[in-house]
Structure 1
């Protein structure tokens, strides 16, 4: 939070991100509501989900292109303008006489393109943020941004639902377009300010390697930092476990209504969602400062232990114990993830930083659906308890790996770079 308050340029970047997050939520709710009213709503909602999820796997390519971009401010502004135009077109489509299914298909394509451009924009932001605030404060800044974004995402869902009562689908599309335009202007204002002050942030060397050579360089640099690759691997698995628990716990609650229901099933699920969100928000916003001197291996080991405790509490069908340890798990996992990103930023050469962050995000995002699919499949074909016992086995293994690596390497590289 201190970085946000004292650094005007970073504050503008953050506000731009918050605006586009809120606009995206408003439009997503509007589009989902529109699609839910169609005759074959299941197919329409599935297409929307696909258009939202696939671009998230493009972070690695977006980061690579960002590293090869010389004028990052100009590019990020142009991406905002392009997304402004795209959602302006969406707004016009909603007020046109286009048939419902043709409209859905066109908007799905536009949404897919916009989110793909968003992967490139995210890659552009990372090195610029580091140039503005410095590597040392990146973890704190990233934690604050993630936490506030989660708060805005939650609030925007309720606000968006209310706006749908008196605003049209077209109006919400136009609002989304405007948020991108305002975000672009904020990015541009920072770029012009630094150009005027003769402090161009794009002065660093641009990556001239091809894609696979860049990934190879990134891997080699991560490998040089003893323990970093292990931490990435463990936290990716931890992220998968956290996501899988989010799918298995509701199944367990449904099968143990006498001991795990608080008032009603829907209320219990809602409470669980709020508890996890609050844990992640608090961990992201305040964890990097409170645990600034704690080693990432220590936080990671603690997160694995809490993951184990959450799984055991679920097997014992104790909903209050589940909520308590799940909250702590969400907070601790957020802190571990941010400290890992800080270590990565301190380790990787600046000119391939966006590519490396994109690679990291792609790994983290890919593991979650794989874990969830496998665990829910075990639950469906055998039983939910078998799935939970499988999670326990995985947790024990990664806990052993984390402890072993922590002792073996004594995390010397992290002590030198983070502290």
Structure 2
């Protein structure tokens, strides 16, 4: 937490990132609420979830392009401004008399373009953050920023559900666009400040290797650290479970409003996300110290149990049990993430740290959209119950695998308590 208050440039950078995330949550909640009122709401909600998740598949390409970018601060400013303009356009479209499904399709396409640009922006973020903090502070920075992002997201969800009662979808889209523009101005301020100081971190070292050569080198570095790759894969699947649960919950709640809605539909969906956010925030901020002497695999095991419990609660249409278990799942995943980051920073060669971070982020992100796309598509084509049962099977299988890997790692001395 101290790094946020000590490091002025990092603090501004974090605030810019948090701002854009907060605006995105407001827009996502508005779009999901609008789509839930359409005749074939299940298909609409599934398409929105897919449009949110598929761009993450391009994260490796975005990271590669970011490594080849000379002036990273300049490009991240432009990305923020372009995404802001796209959501201002969405705000204009919502104010026009466009038929429900036609509007949703257009907005989904624009949102897809924006999120695809966001993968490049995310690739720019990692090396810039590393340049703003010390190497031994990366884990703390990741944990604190991630936790605060979840807190802001939580606030945005509740504010958004309240704003939807008296504010138009168009207005919320405009707010989202303005948050990106404000974030871009903050990034520009940081770049200008460093330029005045003659700081070389404004222009980052450029990786001139080919795409596949860069990925191969990064993979080699990650595999050299005993147990790191296994841990990344396990956490990747857990992230996939969490990302898939949220859109499936929205579908189940939409079809069982009488027994599962708390207040309003938008408020209920916001509440589910809020519980995940609270858990993740607490796990990110205090989890690193709380589990300091506990194996990372043990934390992952707790997360597996929580994930299976969430799905069982949804199948039973018990919204309260769903909220509690979602909170626990978010907490354990929030605690695991900074521990993994710090382990990685201490294990890989620092000369290609950014590439290694990009590779791990790619693995973590690729699984989520794949699982979300698969299970939401299954839900749209068949029934949401089949998706939930399939996800439960994967969760139980992952639990068994985690126990086996944990025992093997203990025998080989690969367990880490970072």
TM-score when normalising by structure 2: 0.79
Task: Say which is worse superposed, 289-298 or 7-16, in terms of deviation.
Answer: 289-298
Alignment of 1:186-201 (within 5 A): 186-201=186-201
Could you report, residue by residue, the CA deviation over 1:121-174 in whole angstroms, capped at 9, with x for unpaired residues? 111111111110122222222222222222222321221232233333332222
Q: 1:279 to 1:66 in 2, by over 3 A?
A: same
* Residue matched to 1:121: 121
* Residue matched to 1:331: 331
Could you report, residue by residue, the CA deviation over 1:190-212 in whole angstroms, capped at 9, with x for unpaired residues? 11111111112145431112222
Q: In the TM superposition, what is the alpha-carbon distance from 1:408 to its structure 2 partner?
A: 0.5
Contact 2:25 2:157 in 1 (8 A): yes
Q: 1:264 to 1:113 in 2, by over 3 A?
A: closer
Q: In the TM superposition, what is the alpha-carbon distance from 1:90 to its structure 2 partner?
A: 2.3
Identify which of 346, 350, 353 aligns with 2:353.
350
* Residue matched to 1:362: 365
Q: In the TM superposition, what is the alpha-carbon distance from 1:409 to its structure 2 partner?
A: 3.6
* Residue matched to 1:397: 401
Q: In the TM superposition, what is the alpha-carbon distance from 1:396 to its structure 2 partner?
A: 2.4
2-structure distance, mates of 1:11, 1:163: 28
Contact 1:307 1:395 in 2 (8 A): no
Task: Say which is worse superposed, 271-280 or 326-335, in terms of deviation.
Answer: 271-280
1-structure distance, mates of 2:302, 2:131: 32
Task: Say which is worse superposed, 42-51 or 20-29, in terms of deviation.
Answer: 42-51
Q: Does residue 144 in structure 1 map to residue 144 in structure 2? A: yes
* Residue matched to 2:49: 49
RMSD value, Cα: 4.2
Q: In the TM superposition, what is the alpha-carbon distance from 1:26 to its structure 2 partner?
A: 2.0
Contact 1:222 1:229 in 2 (8 A): yes
1-structure distance, mates of 2:377, 2:126: 33
* Residue matched to 1:257: none
2-structure distance, mates of 1:228, 1:4: 28
| 1:82 match: secondary structure | helix
When the two structures are aligned, how many residues end up with a matched partner? Answer: 405
Contact 1:205 1:351 in 2 (8 A): no
Q: 1:247 to 1:46 in 2, by over 3 A?
A: closer
* Residue matched to 2:412: 408
Q: In the TM superposition, what is the alpha-carbon distance from 1:306 to its structure 2 partner?
A: 6.3
Q: 1:294 to 1:247 in 2, by over 3 A?
A: same
* Residue matched to 2:208: 208
* Residue matched to 2:157: 157
Could you report, residue by residue, the CA deviation over 1:87-146 in whole angstroms, capped at 9, with x for unpaired residues? 222233334465655544332222111111111111111111111012222222222222
1-structure distance, mates of 2:169, 2:313: 43
Q: 1:391 to 1:183 in 2, by over 3 A?
A: closer
TM-score when normalising by structure 1: 0.79
Could you report, residue by residue, the CA deviation over 1:46-80 in whole angstroms, capped at 9, with x for unpaired residues? 44333222112222221111111111000000101
Q: In the TM superposition, what is the alpha-carbon distance from 1:182 to its structure 2 partner?
A: 0.7
| 1:201 match: secondary structure | helix
1-structure distance, mates of 2:114, 2:170: 17
Q: In the TM superposition, what is the alpha-carbon distance from 1:344 to its structure 2 partner?
A: 2.5
Q: 1:264 to 1:183 in 2, by over 3 A?
A: same
Structure 2's unaligned 5+ residue stretches are 253-257, 263-267
Structure 1's unaligned 5+ residue stretches are 253-262
Q: 1:379 to 1:393 in 2, by over 3 A?
A: farther
Q: In the TM superposition, what is the alpha-carbon distance from 1:219 to its structure 2 partner?
A: 0.9
Q: 1:338 to 1:374 in 2, by over 3 A?
A: farther
2-structure distance, mates of 1:172, 1:390: 37
Q: 1:9 to 1:323 in 2, by over 3 A?
A: same
* Residue matched to 1:86: 86
Q: In the TM superposition, what is the alpha-carbon distance from 1:21 to its structure 2 partner?
A: 1.6
Larger Rg: 1
1-structure distance, mates of 2:365, 2:314: 29
Q: 1:336 to 1:375 in 2, by over 3 A?
A: farther
Task: Say which is worse superposed, 231-240 or 11-20, in terms of deviation.
Answer: 231-240
2-structure distance, mates of 1:372, 1:141: 33
Q: Does residue 21 in structure 1 map to residue 21 in structure 2? A: yes
Contact 1:63 1:357 in 2 (8 A): no
